[in-house]
Amino acid sequence: MLDLTDGRGADVIYDPVGGEVFAQSLRCIAPEGRIIPMGFAGGDVPQIPANILLVKNITAIGLYWGHYMGWGRQPRTAADIARLHAAMAQMFQWYGDGKLHPVTHAELDLAEVAAGMDIVAARQVIGKVVLTP
């Protein structure tokens, strides 16, 4: 990541993996950056050293998507649904305005799902693998 940003680091890092990937993300986050742990697909729940938060002046933002979906508590409230819809509308607006630039590693036909999983499992993906019908 440092090579891609001329040594500055990433302003925002979304991490659904955890473990060593999270540790690497902490090393390459820009000063005043934001890191968003959102899952632990790698199996290890990361620990965030407070000194890194302080020295780099970064913010860690936890995000449990299930909260907005009503998982772990029932029922989902009208306020949850309204916040979710507003957030999604804002995200699509930013995308439409050209403010978001998602990286697509590969776009594959749905019949190529096995090949898509192979490149994900081999950790060859930068961005998303998109399956289309």
- pLDDT for res 93: 96
- pLDDT for res 51: 93
Map the chain to HEC letters. Answer: CCCCCCCCCEEEEEECCCHHHHHHHHHCEEEEEEEEECCCCCCCCCCCCHHHHHHHCCEECCCCHHHHHCCCCCCCCHHHHHHHHHHHHHHHHHHHCCCCCCCEEEEEEHHHHHHHHHHHHCCCCCCEEEEEC
Query: Chunked in runs of 10, what are the mean pLDDT values of the chain (133 residues)?
Result: 83 89 91 92 86 94 78 75 89 94 92 92 86 92
Please report, for the chain, the start and end positions of each structural domain, with discontinuous segments joined by +.
1-63
Domain 1-63 has CATH 3.40.50.720: yes
- pLDDT for res 57: 96
- pLDDT for res 84: 84
